Structure 1
């Protein structure tokens, strides 16, 4: 089977599984309860979704990270809770750069569904001063970080630390000496957060001084792309929900979908959602073949656009639904909360537009210097 056919089959399998195991009643229960947000992780591990980008020599499918893009669109469509980003991306991105001890931790997540987490200060620039940071001193980690997705449930955490102005990567276990974790409240209905305090924690190195920055840059790029894909799935599903409601709800003896204003709104929402879907496919398909500058630029531009479009489409869907759209009984309410949470993770539109501008200016300056 060709890679493209296999990727399409995997996405379809995820869609079929979630239709049966994650129906509307189950979804609302999971989103309403912090205790249930990782409940489907073992089943998805059994399905093989976390092995997609792990090399065949390590027991995975050996597909490129771009194969995760259509799967994350399905995650968005079904509003799936859980550490899907961490469990899907981290094994594929860092497996080749860790020792046998580290690989055992990652393999447990891939095969059995143990939860992975990532402590990365780059999840935001605007709020970085409030979130905290981690430093590496002689290979031991010190610092505090306020918000690690699924940090309280993780069996292994990828920690981004700084040493003499350069990034270092480590895998740590929550039971390691010097690790303290506290639960933190979450406004994201699909995610639990943990506050980490590290006091002289010894971790497992990921890469070395030469390779760690490259590995980290790839993790951050793909985090933005896969979050954008999830937002694309959210936008697509909200268009479908709005159309379904507009065909049922009546006002003045007519279904509201027959009103010109509603037609125009739905048409705009559909256009935005389809364009975002196509943008996701284009960026994911070429990201790993681009030079670093272009890859960083594409990932940032995609995430900035996805953050804006998904929220706008969700707001349009709520407007079509009227007052009921703001209630917990309406699915669009949950999609909107999720879109708002994902909008900020690894940069909202404003933050990423600033980064895109800085990247373009830096590249332009570098080319000018080369010509001189």
Structure 2
């Protein structure tokens, strides 16, 4: 476990009222910055931790086990570190070196970039920009005007905070404290040195993580996250079952029945956890041996990642039915975990696109 028992207890206390305030506390944000939880894969030369993908994924999982909002923000914040080598050298040093460096933004090409002298004029709106209330910078992807219609050009851009309007419209039923708001950019100039493409490396600020396939990196990150939230759900169900033991023993065999269900889903979780980490370790081992990952291997991992999400939902939904009214009360810890899990599993990197991906792991 990445975090101590004392830290786990403190973080859960800090996130107790997160849904009401719809953000994380200043103290928790400072903790995340001090622990470099947004800079897990940023190279050490830019004051990051420079971790491997398997090590970072374990932290995503451990953070999400503590609290879904906390884990989501650690995972999303870390993901921005994939761009260190894509930025110009000057921009990478300027924006990633500060201890508080963290990106909020979107890779969806929802904006328009118009070429002008020395840079671009940007307009657009982008949904679901997690961490928008504390980001030190924003990134967003645009279609470049006047590019070949048959081969349109897309670029991403780095924006200063004062260039971005944050629209507080995140209203999901879970992960309420992630401030995954819409951002709007209106007629803002961005110099050429702050334009980048995730398909082009411009400097030496990189580790083996940075040339790992981006899609597989993202799938590993989100699969690790839902594994963590799933584990928290199972822990909470077991805790409730033990708390209700005396009452449920007086209801025939309800306690025994419930414990059998809990143990069944714990075994399902453990199997999924082992499969995920073994598959990721194999890909990472091959990648670090400078062997190219085949499309078949990447597709197989994509399917595994989506099955992980399906499996976590299966675990949670099988047990949810047996808890009773406590499960449906929004103020209950169990309900909050359940909503966070379902929200995280809806991310596009985990959403099934074929029948095979809708199956849970056997």
Question: TM-score scaled by structure 1?
Answer: 0.76
Q: Runs of 5+ in structure 2 lacking a partner?
A: 145-150, 203-208
* Aligned-partner Cα distance in 2 for 1:95–1:195: 24
Q: Is the 8 A contact 1:89 1:219 kept in 2?
A: no
Query: 1:147 offset after TM fit, Å?
Result: 2.7
* Aligned-partner Cα distance in 2 for 1:104–1:272: 46
Structure with the higher helix share, 1 or 2:
1
Counterpart of 2:250 (choices 248, 253, 261) is 253
Residue 95 of structure 2 corresponds to residue 105 of structure 1 = yes
* Count of matched residue pairs: 326
Residue 126 of structure 2 corresponds to residue 145 of structure 1 = yes
Residue in 2 that maps onto 1:282:
278
Residue in 2 that maps onto 1:94:
83
* Aligned-partner Cα distance in 2 for 1:50–1:115: 6
CA RMSD of aligned residues (A): 3.2
* Aligned-partner Cα distance in 2 for 1:295–1:168: 28
Query: 1:299 offset after TM fit, Å?
Result: 4.5
Alignment of 1:41-80 (within 5 A): 41-80=29-68
* Aligned-partner Cα distance in 2 for 1:148–1:90: 12
Residue in 2 that maps onto 1:361:
none
Query: 1:143 offset after TM fit, Å?
Result: 2.2
Distance 1:142 1:258, change over 3 A: same
Distance 1:325 1:338, change over 3 A: same
Query: 1:34 offset after TM fit, Å?
Result: 1.3
Alignment of 1:1-372 (within 5 A): 11-12=1-2, 14-16=3-5, 18-23=7-12, 25-36=13-24, 39-82=27-70, 83-91=73-81, 93-99=82-88, 100-108=90-98, 111-112=99-100, 114-121=101-108, 133-138=110-115, 139-163=120-144, 164-176=151-163, 179-187=164-172, 188-203=175-190, 204-207=194-197, 210-211=200-201, 218-249=213-244, 250-251=247-248, 253=250, 258-260=255-257, 262-288=258-284, 289=287, 291=293, 293-294=295-296, 296-351=298-353, 353=354
Deviations 1:83-109 (CA, angstroms, capped at 9, x unpaired): 212322222x1212323234322233x
Q: Is the 8 A contact 2:80 2:102 kept in 1?
A: no
* Aligned-partner Cα distance in 2 for 1:195–1:291: 35
Distance 1:228 1:348, change over 3 A: closer
* Aligned-partner Cα distance in 2 for 1:154–1:355: 37
Q: Is the 8 A contact 1:297 1:356 kept in 2?
A: no
Query: 1:144 offset after TM fit, Å?
Result: 2.1
Q: Is the 8 A contact 2:107 2:156 kept in 1?
A: no
Residue in 2 that maps onto 1:367:
none
Distance 1:165 1:107, change over 3 A: same
SS, match of residue 168 in structure 1: strand
* Aligned-partner Cα distance in 2 for 1:158–1:227: 20
Distance 1:209 1:314, change over 3 A: closer
* Aligned-partner Cα distance in 1 for 2:278–2:77: 23
Query: 1:48 offset after TM fit, Å?
Result: 3.0
* Aligned-partner Cα distance in 2 for 1:63–1:152: 26
